[in-house]
Structure 1
Amino acid sequence: MEETKSATIEKLINEGNIIIEEKYARAYYSRSLKVVGVVWDGIFTKEQYMDFFDRLLEFGRKNQVIGFFSDIRKQGVVPVDARKYFEKHVSPEAQRLGINKTGVVSDASPFKKYYLNTIIKMTGRPAKICSDPNDALSYVLGE
């Protein structure tokens, strides 16, 4: 685990680690950190959101993933049905796959804070909201 100590966000979020790329989000995977990260950028439909997470879960079934990083500072509004899908399907499946912690980067706007706290409360999963990407990654890695 020496390599994960004081890992910076560039170890996860870089062009060489892209596993999914859409106009509204990019997903990254660091094999050495065993973390999947998503940087959201714009609006999406309910179907796009659900499909994106289904693809991430499929990736998690084939690769060792211990944590999840999500930068939602530029994320569009998540449709209610998509949020419910995340709570009822994605979060439990991620837990079964061994994805134990989530670090979220947010600008702490009131709407996003409400959305995040709702998901954290509903899923009961370990998660932390941070303003700094490196802090969110450190949380996921247990540093």
Structure 2
Amino acid sequence: MINDDIIYKTDIAVVSYSKERKLVTTVWHSKKLKFKEYQEPFLAAIEFQKKTFVTNYISDIREQNIIPPDFRKWFQTEILPKAYAAGVKRSAIIFNGNIFKKYYLNNIMNSVKKF
């Protein structure tokens, strides 16, 4: 990740790209998010993916705060279909295992099965 290109960077999240791995990585930082703050890193990644061959995606949510259901629903209905339609084949999430994040991930995993 040292040689990765930064696509998007704020105090909320850093989105980077590894050409060698055809990988986009988002690392979230602890903070209560507004909806727009949650959307922006994903939208930046999707815009980047339109111009660049990306097959892999990792999201590191260990420092991310709890995500409201309406945010997750937007991610499932808007971002997942666009990411997979544009070429993502594999995705992974790094998390610390708390019950709220497990629930969040289970819901997302059920959506991913469609692709």
Normalization by structure 2: what TM-score?
A: 0.91
Residue 54 of structure 1, CA deviation:
1.1
CA distance in 2 between partners of 1:15 and 1:63 (Å): 17
C-alpha distance 106-58 of structure 1, shift in aligned 2 (>3 A): same
Q: Is the 8 A contact 1:66 1:99 kept in 2?
A: yes
CA distance in 2 between partners of 1:84 and 1:106 (Å): 19
The residue type paired with residue 48 of structure 1 is: E
Aligned to 1:19: 7
CA distance in 2 between partners of 1:97 and 1:70 (Å): 17
Q: Which has the higher helix share?
A: 1
Q: Specify every segment of 5 or more residues in structure 2 that has no aligned partner in the other structure, as ranges.
A: none
Residue 45 of structure 1, CA deviation:
1.0
Which among 29, 39, 49 is matched to residue 27 of structure 2?
A: 39
Residue 93 of structure 1, CA deviation:
0.5
Aligned to 2:89: 100
The residue type paired with residue 66 of structure 1 is: T
Residue 122 of structure 1, CA deviation:
2.5
* Percent of aligned pairs sharing the same letter: 32
- Within 5 A, what are the aligned runs for 1:91-130? 91-124=80-113
Q: Is the 8 A contact 1:17 1:30 kept in 2?
A: yes
Deviation per CA, 1:41-79: give whole Å up to 9, x if none: 122211111122111100100111001011111011222
Whichever of the two has the greater Rg, that structure is 1
Residue 103 of structure 1, CA deviation:
1.1
Runs of 4+ deviating beyond 4 Å: none
Aligned to 1:61: 50
Q: Is the 8 A contact 1:57 1:93 kept in 2?
A: yes
Three-state SS of the structure 1 residue aligned to 2:27 is strand
The residue type paired with residue 26 of structure 1 is: V
CA RMSD of aligned residues (A): 1.5
Residue 123 of structure 1, CA deviation:
3.0
Residue 15 of structure 1, CA deviation:
6.4
Deviation per CA, 1:69-105: give whole Å up to 9, x if none: 1111101122222111110010000010010111111
Aligned to 1:6: none
